[in-house]
Every structure is written in structure tokens, then in C-alpha cells.
């Protein structure tokens, strides 16, 4: 396209606009800066109570961050207190392994008189052998012969 019919703009024209452009850019930057500062100031004022004292509690005052034991409530607190005594009221921990013989069977807690048990007979095996374990004498796994015995268990609540 031919732009020869257009009036060429000189550098003097751009230089004459420079102060006006700088004032405009400075005004935009200043308004953005003040807007950001205003938002921060309003947040700070909202965080203070009616008498000017900060409503937000500082963790540094009054002993620092509370420990897990200090702030635990409900079931979590109950489990923590039982764990301190060496108890496991909800069977959260893995059962203690025994030799699995008739004289020293694996103890299986139950609130009823029977429970279904799964035995992984070999360490590298991915198959689980399921069978019912009834209250009374120790019973054997039908596949590997490991002995299990049902013991009564009371719920913590």
C-alpha cells in the first residue's frame, strides 16, 4: 500500500506529546497504587475491634501454638489418651503377631460370638483365605494351619 498521501509524523510531534503521556501514565499508576493501599488499610481496620484493639489473636502471646494433645477433642482425644496408656480401644493399630500355634494362637477381638477372618498364608501371596472364627477353642486356617482364637472385646463407648 502506498502511504505517500498521508502526512508524515515528525519526531517533534511525538516529543510534544511526551509530557501529556507521562502525566497520564503517572496518574494511572498512582490510582492503582492508592487503590491497593486503600484495600490494605480497610482490611487492617476491619481486623480491629471497636476500641482499636486487634481482634486477631497472636500465637506468640500466651504460650505459642497449642499442641495436638491440648486441642484434641472427641474421638481423637479419646484415642490419644488410650494410646498413652498402651491401649487400642478401636483396633486402629495392627494386631500383634504371635507364633500362630495351638498353644500361642493369634488373638482376634470380637464383640459377637463369631467373626470372619482373612489369612494371607504366605508372605508373598496375594490370595486371602477367608473363614469363620467361632468363640471357644483356637481354630486353624484351612489352608496353612495357623491358629486363631476369638477373644471378647468391649467397645470404648
Beta-bridge mates of residue 56: none
Residue matched to cell numbers 480497610: 42
For residues 129 and 118, the answer to whether their CB atoms sit within 8 Å is yes
144 is in an annotated binding site: yes
Q: In which region does residue 152 sit, left (phi positive, over 0), alpha (psi from -120 to 50) or beta (all else)?
A: beta
**Cα–Cα distance between 108 and 141 in angstroms, integer?**
13
121 is in an annotated binding site: yes
**Cα–Cα distance between 144 and 123 in angstroms, integer?**
12
119 is in an annotated binding site: yes
Binding residues: 119, 121, 141, 144
Residues annotated within a binding site for Zn(2+): 119, 121, 141, 144
Amino acid at each position: 500500500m502506498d502511504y505517500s498521501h498521508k502526512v508524515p509524523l515528525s519526531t517533534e510531534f511525538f516529543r510534544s506529546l511526551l509530557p501529556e503521556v507521562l502525566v497520564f501514565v503517572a496518574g494511572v499508576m498512582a490510582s492503582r497504587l492508592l487503590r491497593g493501599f486503600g484495600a490494605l488499610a480497610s482490611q487492617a481496620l476491619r481486623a480491629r475491634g471497636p476500641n482499636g484493639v486487634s481482634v486477631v489473636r497472636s500465637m506468640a502471646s500466651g504460650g505459642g501454638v497449642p499442641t495436638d494433645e491440648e486441642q484434641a477433642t472427641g474421638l481423637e482425644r479419646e484415642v490419644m489418651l488410650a494410646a498413652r496408656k498402651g491401649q487400642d480401644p478401636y483396633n486402629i493399630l495392627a494386631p500383634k503377631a504371635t507364633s500362630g500355634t495351638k498353644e500361642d494362637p493369634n488373638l482376634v477381638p470380637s464383640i459377637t460370638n463369631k467373626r470372619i477372618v482373612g489369612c494371607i498364608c504366605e508372605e508373598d501371596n496375594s490370595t486371602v483365605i477367608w473363614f469363620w472364627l467361632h468363640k471357644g477353642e483356637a481354630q486353624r486356617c484351612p489352608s496353612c494351619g495357623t491358629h486363631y482364637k476369638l477373644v471378647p472385646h468391649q467397645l470404648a463407648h
